[in-house]
Amino acid sequence: MSAASLIRRTGLLALCLLLAAFSTLAVAQAPKAPAVSSPAYEPTSGQAGKDVVWVPTPQAVVDKMLDMAKVTPRDFVIDLGSGDGRTVITAAKRGARALGIEYNPDMVELSRRNAEKEGVAGRASFIKADLFETDFSRASVITMFLLPDLNLKLRPKILALKPGTRIVSNSFNMGDWEPDQTANLSADAGCTSSYCTALFWIVPARVAGTYKIPQGELTLKQQYQFLSGTLRTDSKTLALVGEVHGTDFAFKAGGRDYRGKMNGKRLELR
């Protein structure tokens, strides 16, 4: 091969390499086609839900509910019918792990996006499920904003939770199971809607029964967190009244105060 033809061939090769490099670069730098995004889902207050419509709990009431339940990073909070995720997200911002159970799949997706935006997606999760068919017994705190008849339907399951589990409901009660605390928020406190009442319960240990104690025979009758009954000593039978909060109980009999703890099925007096 002559020197001239060698130079021509080498030049051609260099040109090919240059073109190849340029096209790779062009592909790498080609602007990406815009992602096709569906229009953002916007819920409307009052929209239909499976067993109850969606109406959001005002943020001031969410805060109050979590205050009453004394939510800390050690808690696992479950919101039954979690809507746009606000209660779960607020609990996660307090360091708790929190789960929302919500039937509407669009609300579940919206909640996940909201948790992502608020930077708590690691602690706030949501499942698309029917709250009446979902096990929520792992919760240390249950929050809800449902309806009185739905609360009543849930009540047996709630009363069977671990003693000490805290329950908070926006506005609706639990029938004849009286709340341990009630808080009404005013407009000044940040609640201007019709749903400004937070109700709080602690699942009571089951203490009803008859026990031998150093003072005699103790018979406890229980109506939710309220105790009545008798303390029978050698000389007399004293009526008693008391309360049980989680596993702790206290009662008064014959002018004397007694306190104790239920340790499983064992009653321990202090």
Ligand X SMILES: C[S@@+](CC[C@H](N)C(=O)[O-])C[C@H]1O[C@@H](n2cnc3c(N)ncnc32)[C@H](O)[C@@H]1O
226: contact with ligand X by CB under 6 A: no
Say whether residue 55 binds ligand X (CB under 6 A): yes
Q: 57, 145 in Cβ contact below 8 A? A: yes
Is the Cβ of residue 57 or residue 247 nearer to ligand X in the bound state?
A: 57
- Rounded Cα–Cα distance for residues 140 and 76 (Å): 5
Cα dist from 254 to 26, 132, 215, 218, whole Å: 92, 45, 12, 13
CB of 215 to ligand X, least distance (A): 47
Site for ligand X in 143-162 (CB under 6 A): 145
Q: How far is the CB of 231 from ligand X (least distance, A)?
A: 44
User: Of 6-45, which residues contact ligand X (CB under 6 A)?
Assistant: none
Cα(242)–Cα(252) distance, integer angstroms: 6
Which residue lies nearer to ligand X by CB, 82 or 247? 82
Contact (Cβ atoms closer than 8 angstroms) between residue 97 and residue 76: yes
Provide the mask over 177-216, with x wherever binding to ligand X is found by CB under 6 A and - wherever it is not.
----------------------------------------
Q: Is 81 in the site for ligand X (CB under 6 A)?
A: yes
* Residue 64 interacts with ligand X (CB under 6 A): yes or no: no
Nearest residue to 98 via CA among 128, 76, 68: 76
Q: For ligand X, which residue of 76, 94, 132, 246 counts as binding (CB under 6 A)? A: 132
56 touches ligand X by CB under 6 A: yes
Nearer to ligand X, 63 or 79 (CB): 79
| Position 57 contacts ligand X (CB under 6 A) | yes
Does residue 238 belong to the site contacting ligand X (CB under 6 A)?
Answer: no
Taking CB under 6 A as the criterion, the residue among 83, 163, 242, 260 binding ligand X is 83
The torsion region of residue 158 among left (phi > 0), alpha (psi -120 to 50) and beta comes to: alpha
In angstroms, the Cα distances linking 74 to 88, 141, 158, 160, 180 are 15, 11, 20, 21, 22
Residue 40 C-beta: closest distance to ligand X, Å: 17
- 104 is an interface residue for ligand X by CB under 6 A: yes
Q: Tell me how crowded residue 73 is: count the other CB atoms within 10 A of its CB.
A: 10
* Residue 111 engages ligand X in binding (rule: CB under 6 A): no
Q: Are 92 and 99 a contacting pair, CB within 8 Å?
A: no
User: Token pair for residue 103?
Assistant: 């039937």
Alpha helices in 34-147 (DSSP H): 59-68, 86-93, 105-117
* Residues of the shown chain interacting with ligand X in the complex, contacts defined by CB under 6 A: 49-52, 54-57, 79, 81-83, 86-87, 101-104, 107, 130-132, 145, 170
